[in-house]
Each structure stands twice: as structure tokens, then as C-alpha cells.
């Protein structure tokens, strides 16, 4: 699917558009398959979207929430993506606890927890080794360096093709992350990007030619729909 690039007037408009798109995709997933599986982005950009979802009346029992990546910290740690989404949204709605599938970070070994989460995904989606689950929606952001999820430039995680979840590394800091094949199997991937600091990376991500291992977001070419929602500052220099 060709990428759909939208440059919104400001960050508020970006979040509004993202909210509308997420609601639309949730509704169509439930209508077509009886449930919706959505994987969340971490970082700061999506937080207002999660806060807005907390005010929506949705069939929460039919919505299963995952994370596309996680810092390797306890869910009580201020850096935890799980903590952010629970406090902004999930703690405020009547979603069954069993519908929240956080990435485990308690084994003291990221590779062990990555494998554990992979097993949870395989069990939930009823897919065996060699098969790849299809998420209805995966939300992503990009860093100033062009990373997405915890797929950082020039790291081994970018090359993993035989797992669903692997260990990413931001400098020496371990992370858990969905792999490129898992993200690219999604029915819909939505990038939410705001801020002038993202302009250089976006220029490389959208360039005709650039090193995809230096700008990992270039590797995200899902079989389903791909939306790039940019605010006016991030998208100021994008010709599309």
C-alpha cells in the first residue's frame, strides 16, 4: 500500500486526526473480526491521543492492547511505556485486565522476556513458529535519529526476521521491540510525528534513496495501510 502522508495544522490537529483514524480502525476491526488488536507507541507524542481515548465510549471488552516496544524497566518506572498508557488511558476505562498485554520486563534478562512475550503473542493469535500475527493497528513514532519502536540505527534488531519480538538497544540501554516483519504484517500502521526536531529524519525517511539501516523507519512498509500523520513543524519541509 502506498503511504498516506498528511500534514496537520498543529499538534492538536495531529492528535485529533490520529484519534479519528484509530476509532475508525477499531470499529472496522470489531465489525469484521469481532475484536481489535492495537499495539501502542511509547514516547511523548501519543500521550494526548491516549488521554483522548480515555474519554471515549468504546466496546473495551473487544479491544486488546499491546505495546510495540518497551523500555527494559519495571512498569512502575517513570520511563515505562506501559505506565504512561495506563495512567493516560487504560486505568480510566472499563477494559478487562486480561485485554492488556504488556511486554514483560521482570526476568532480569531482556532476551528471556522477549521470548516470553513472543510466546504470549503466538498463543493469543494462535500462530505457530514461522507464522506471523496480523495486528489490526500498530501506532509508531520516530526519533530524531529515524528509529521507530525500539529499532535503532545500525543495530542487530533491524535484521531479525525469524522472531516477533527481539531486544533493541538504545546505546547501551536494552529495550524490547516488535520486529520489522511483525510490524509489516499489520493491517494498518499509523506514524504520529510532531516537532521541528523530526524534520531531518523525515527528510531521509521519505528520500528516494537513503540507508534504511541508518533510518530504520524506512523499513516499515506494511502489507496494510500506512499513514504518516505529521504536524506542521515536523512536515514543514516535506514535498509529497
CA 114, CA 190: separation in Å to the nearest integer?
23
All 3 cell numbers of residue 197?
526536531
Shortest spacing between CB 109 and ligand 6PG, in angstroms = 19
Residue 189 interacts with ligand 6PG (CB under 6 A): yes or no: no
Using CB under 6 A, pick the residue from 18, 42, 110, 235 that binds ligand 6PG.
Answer: 42
CB of 2 to ligand 6PG, least distance (A): 23
Cβ atoms within 10 Å, residue 48 = 19
- Beta strands 165-170 and 225-231: pairing type? unpaired
Select from 19, 39, 41, 190 the one that contacts ligand 6PG (CB under 6 A): 41
Supply the minimum distance, in Å, between the C-beta of residue 217 and ligand 6PG: 9
Site for ligand 6PG in 199-228 (CB under 6 A): none
- Count of C-beta atoms within a 10 Å radius of residue 139: 26
Contact between 141 and ligand 6PG per CB under 6 A: yes
Identified binder of ligand 6PG from the candidate list 9, 27, 33, 44, rule CB under 6 A: 44
Pairing of strands 173-178, 69-71: antiparallel
Residue with cell string 503511504: 3
Please state, in angstroms and rounded to a whole number, the distance separating the CA atoms of residues 217 and 20.
Answer: 23
- Residues at the site binding ligand 6PG, with contacts judged by CB under 6 A: 41-45, 69, 81, 141-143, 147-150
Amino acid at each position: 500500500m502506498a503511504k498516506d502522508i498528511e500534514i496537520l495544522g498543529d499538534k492538536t490537529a495531529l492528535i485529533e486526526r490520529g484519534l479519528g483514524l484509530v476509532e475508525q480502525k477499531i470499529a472496522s476491526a470489531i465489525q469484521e473480526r469481532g475484536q481489535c488488536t492495537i499495539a501502542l507507541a511509547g514516547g511523548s507524542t501519543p500521550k494526548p491521543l491516549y488521554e483522548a481515548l480515555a474519554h471515549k465510549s468504546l466496546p473495551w471488552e473487544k479491544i486488546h492492547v499491546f505495546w510495540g516496544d518497551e523500555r527494559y524497566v519495571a512498569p512502575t518506572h517513570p520511563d515505562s511505556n506501559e505506565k504512561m498508557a495506563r495512567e493516560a488511558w487504560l486505568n480510566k476505562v472499563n477494559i478487562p485486565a486480561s485485554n492488556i498485554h504488556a511486554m514483560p520486563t521482570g526476568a532480569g534478562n531482556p532476551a528471556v522476556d522477549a521470548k516470553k512475550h513472543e510466546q504470549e503473542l503466538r498463543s493469543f493469535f494462535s500462530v505457530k513458529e514461522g507464522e506471523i500475527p496480523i495486528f489490526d493497528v500498530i501506532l509508531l513514532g520516530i526519533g530524531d535519529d529515524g528509529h521507530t519502536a525500539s529499532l535503532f540505527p545500525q543495530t542487530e534488531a533491524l535484521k531479525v526476521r525469524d522472531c516477533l519480538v527481539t531486544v533493541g538497544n538504545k546505546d547501551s540501554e536494552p529495550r524490547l521491540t516488535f520486529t520489522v516483519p511483525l510490524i509489516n504484517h499489520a493491517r494498518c500502521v499509523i506514524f504520529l510525528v510532531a516537532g521541528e526536531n523530526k524534520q531531518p529524519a523525515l527528510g531521509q525517511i521519505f528520500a528516494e534513496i537513503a540507508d534504511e539501516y541508518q533510518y530504520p523507519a524506512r523499513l516499515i512498509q506494511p502489507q496494510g495501510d500506512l499513514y504518516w500523520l505529521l504536524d506542521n513543524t515536523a512536515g514543514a519541509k516535506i514535498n509529497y
